[in-house]
Amino acid sequence: MQHAPFTALAAVYDAIMADVEYDAWADFVLTYARDAELDVHSALDLACGTGGFTRELQHAGLTVTGLDGSPDMLKEARRRLPDVAFVEGDLRSFTLNGSFDLITCVFDSLNNLLSREDLGAAFRQMHAHLNPGGLLACDLNTRLGVRELWEGDAIEGVVTAADGAEVHYHWSHHFDPQAEVGVVQAFCRVQPEQGDMQEFVETHRERGYDPPEVQDLLRQAGFSTFETVEYPDYADPTPDTPRLWVFARREQA
């Protein structure tokens, strides 16, 4: 019943995450780019998962490439967006032919990198794949956000998947103070319209990153122009901010 992260979950992920405001996040990112007078035509969506945010970038008229480390999530993404190029790769070491005007990595995907070294490596790869003057836009849960991920430390519900299966999910969260990571036990029970019921659990771990640490790693990766803000008003973060948004520019040639 125990599965690796983002494997069995891929088939029911979109049903469980149906209320995620990918469209609002895309508007937040693209508004920032417009206000900065950036000319954005191409985008690389990192940790794209099943393509929810990728789709919004494509709908905005961008030529988009999606990259993710999970073959199972990418299978769903390719089914959803057959005309988008999707690539399997590791955030810390991916190498693509070409560079991009915009690189995105959303939904606290970077928190799955559990060390400063890993996050720094991801930032370096992002910097290397940006066009001169290009923009990196990503979000991360802070240390507070990882400690207090959900009120009551659990979420649960019942949803219907695209194939008609009934999906019962119960996800519990606890914070491991020794490892300084949040641990989510994601349990799902899937009852297809025909066939046997299936149950699985995936264990997901996240490390929180606060603004000074993120800013230091961005500098080390080669970014000289960046800011950390809150969603949706671009306000400066406070000690009570649970999630940061990062906007960083690669210098013009």
Q: Model confidence at 253, in pLDDT bands (50, 70, 90)? A: confident
pLDDT for residue 250: 98
Q: Which fold has domain 146-206?
A: N-terminal domain of TfIIb (2.20.25)
Q: Model confidence at 1, in pLDDT bands (50, 70, 90)? A: confident
pLDDT for residue 155: 97
pLDDT for residue 95: 98
Mean pLDDT of 36-51: 98
Q: List helix spans (H) across the chain.
A: 10-16, 22-35, 52-59, 71-80, 116-128, 143-147, 211-221
pLDDT for residue 17: 98
Q: Model confidence at 178, in pLDDT bands (50, 70, 90)? A: very high
% of residues, the chain, pLDDT over 90: 99
Strand-strand pairing, 181-191 and 243-249: unpaired
Letter for the amino acid at 218?
A: L
C-alpha dihedral over 123, 124, 130, 135, to 10 degrees?
A: 30
Domain ranges for the chain: 17-141+209-249, 146-206
Average of per-residue pLDDT values in the chain: 97
Question: What residues have CB less than 8 Å from 120, skipping those under 6 apart?
Answer: 217, 220, 221
pLDDT for residue 246: 98
Question: Bridge partners of 198?
Answer: 190
Q: Which fold has domain 17-141+209-249?
A: Rossmann fold (3.40.50)
| pLDDT of 144 strictly over 80 | yes
- How far is the C-alpha of 81 from the C-alpha of 83, rounded, in Å? 6
Mean pLDDT of 166-184: 97
| pLDDT of 168 strictly over 80 | yes
| Element at 199 (helix H, strand E) | strand 198-206
